[in-house]
Amino acid sequence: MSKIRHEWYQTEREVVVSVFIRNVKQEDLKVDLQDRALSLTVSLPTGSDVVFDVDPLAHEIDTNASSYRVLRPKIELKLIKKSGGVKWNKLEGEDESLVKMAEPKADEHPSHAYPSSSRKQHNWDAIVKKSAEEDEELAKEFSKNPNSGDKAVNELFQKLYADASDEQRRAMIKSYQESNGTALSMDWKDVSKRKVETTPPDSMIAKKWGA
């Protein structure tokens, strides 16, 4: 396996791999996903390439359903397990184990298993929870002061949107559009059931355009 720093964790359905190469441009990245292998190639301005590969993967993946995204500090790959529910004991190499992961109850969030390839063990459930809490705080801060300038709004959106789930992204777009840019929520369960009203800051009154 490549010596480039990386970490991974898994849920019942997917394996998420983070490859820590900073400031990669989309056009400079080539991703090759196979049933039992993955390869990332980053073209550098010097003409050389940085390559990260895992061959073989511990188990098969669904290459059509798998995806990746480029973030500022890393490249994140979401590998969909071919055999859902099977626990991967490692990321690379032969893994004869076919142990099923415990299925989460309907009212529980799926657990995030520790990445066995990482030297430092992380409590991923706590990290996911902390990240969500921090994003909610940023959203609340925006709602208190939505007139902080286009640049600040764009930066806020970029940070929240990059790390948000699909439901959180839908909530952000719906709340921002329906409130005319005065509210931002990441709680899809809440905003999906109602229209988000315009909530101007204190001492200001919302008026329709041209009124």
- Give the model confidence (pLDDT) of 77-91 as tens digits: 999 999 888 999 999
Q: From residue 67, give the alpha-carbon distance in Å to each of 14, 26, 103.
A: 11, 14, 23
In 3D space, the residue among 138, 118, 10, 28 whose CA is nearest the CA of residue 75 turns out to be 28
| pLDDT at residue 67, as a whole number | 96
Return d(Cα 169, Cα 165) in angstroms, integer: 6
Q: Report pTM.
A: 0.51
Domains with residue ranges and CATH for the chain: 6-121 (2.60.40.790), 126-191 (no CATH)
Which pLDDT tens digit goes with each residue over 44-61?
888 899 999 999 999 999
Lowest average pLDDT, out of 53-57, 174-178, 199-203, goes to 199-203
Percent helix / strand / coil, the chain, rounded to 5: 25, 25, 50
Rounded percentage of the chain residues whose pLDDT exceeds 70: 64
